[in-house]
Amino acid sequence: MRNSVLLSSDLQSVILVDTKQNEQRLAIGKRGVLLSVLGTDICASEVPAELDGYLRNLLKQKDPFYEFEVAGAESSQLCITYNDVNNTVFIIGITDIDVGFAGPTQVPDASTSVFAVRLKANPAIGLTSPNAILVRLEGGIGTQKYIRFYHLPVD
């Protein structure tokens, strides 16, 4: 599972799994987490306070490319995985799963959303990716909460 990004079961953080170091749990509930590529390894970092203004301005012009409703998490599955051969992050959201399945069952296409984001056009060229993915939990008290994914340029 080297170079994997997992969503915690409480939907409050992402975990970067790397066999070279210990688990890295990163909170998505405040400013979010940035996913990028350094060489052919995925990197993840919580957004520091110093980037608040910059991200706020950048997000005014951006819509999330995917959002996952947190309230339905008991009958849903969200997976973030990274393929280091082609520097692509795959985000797979499955909603309305019947938890009573007794055997192998194919999930209907209507219940599945899959997004692939290639962070570098060629894994062997360039040190860093020209884009990043911002993952964060959004929504206020008493309102619906979503895990939202934004594709952002790295300047």
Full residue range of the structural domain in which residue 15 is found: 4-153
- 109: helix, strand or coil: helix
How do residues 23-81 score in pLDDT, each as one tens digit? 577 888 888 999 998 888 888 888 999 998 899 899 998 999 999 888 766 677 888 88
pTM: 0.84
Q: What is the 3-state secondary structure (H, E, C) of 45-83?
A: EECCHHHHHHHHHHHHCCCCCEEEECCCHHHCEEEEEEE
How far is 7 from 5, CA to CA, in rounded Å?
7
- Domain count within the chain: 1
pLDDT tens digits along 94-150: 887 766 667 787 878 888 899 999 988 888 888 889 999 999 999 867 778 889 999
